[in-house]
Structure 1
């Protein structure tokens, strides 16, 4: 299990893993929130728990340039709120790469945020990624590669 998990996150993961056959229990597990501010982190956690947010994305920059680990199919993620409380345990269904300017309406809808439209998705994510890259001393490019993660909820806190 990930080192950063608090007891509530660990208990959620343990309960789920014990429901699986022994051979299926070996998984990479982490815990984190989505977004970079309290309001959106809490909102996204609730959307995941409700089943309306089934995907997320991030700049490939973080993985290719900063060495963060890219999720793999079958990985588990405890989605937390801003304060670290678990809201859902999700399993990665797929992890793919796609340029920002090639994201389609289906993926925007799977992200489950805003009004679910591609137009809303593009504007919100462009703003977010511009802010991220500015903080890194760089600029966001509309052709920037994204890591797309699709997932399903496998457990909720009791």
Structure 2
């Protein structure tokens, strides 16, 4: 976590017991756009390939997790809390979840096409093949705070 994110986190929790599980990161290929969707309340879900957690030996998210969302220049823009985590085959992701990701025209078809392309590219880069049954880590979150730079 960079210094600016750490200061934001500490200021938010000033005078309160701070949760211990926090990370700071950017969303996907267009961090500014996706962060704005989070701030607006349009984006309330995200997903990633389970295989990447396995390969990187990363723990799965939990409902105890907080995240500081960063923009494209690593400035903190919001704090979110994970409220639900499920492991779901890609071809079983619901339309409601896909729409909750808030991207594009907010249709299931847009979600499918964008995620299929993304996962094919990412998996191909590591010598793996895409499957419609690939397991996804599906997260829902709520915005706890928006950084207005005050």
Q: TM-score range by the shorter chain?
A: over 0.9
Choose from 10, 29, 48 the match for 2:38.
48
Q: Which moved more, 1:99-108 or 1:65-74?
A: 65-74
The aligned counterpart of 2:98 is 108
2:54 maps to 1:61: no
- Secondary structure of 1:18's aligned partner: coil
- Which of 7, 10, 14 is the matching residue for 2:6? 10
- Counting only pairs closer than 5 Å after superposition, residues 146-157 of structure 1 correspond to structure 2 as 146-157=136-147
Moved over 4 A (4+): none
Q: Deviations over 1:92-117 (max 9, x none)?
A: 10111000000111101110001111
What residue number does 2:135 align with?
145
Cα RMSD for the two superposed structures: 1.3
Aligned equivalent of 2:21: 28
User: 1:74: how far off?
Assistant: 2.2
Give the CA deviation at 1:27. Answer: 2.6
Deviation at 1:68, TM superposition (A): 1.6
Structure 2: how far apart are the matches of 1:151 and 1:120?
A: 21
Match of 2:112 in 1: 122
Gap runs ≥5 in structure 1: none
Gaps of 5+ in 2: none
Provide the rounded CA distance (Å) in 1 between the counterparts of 2:50 and 2:68.
21
Q: Deviations over 1:8-47 (max 9, x none)?
A: 2112211222364x3xx23301000011x3xx12111111
State the number of aligned residues: 148
- Paired residue secondary structure (1:8): helix
Q: The residue matched to 1:153 in structure 2 has which SS? A: strand
The TM-score with structure 1 as length reference comes to 0.88
Output the CA distance in 1 between the equivalents of 2:2 and 2:111.
32
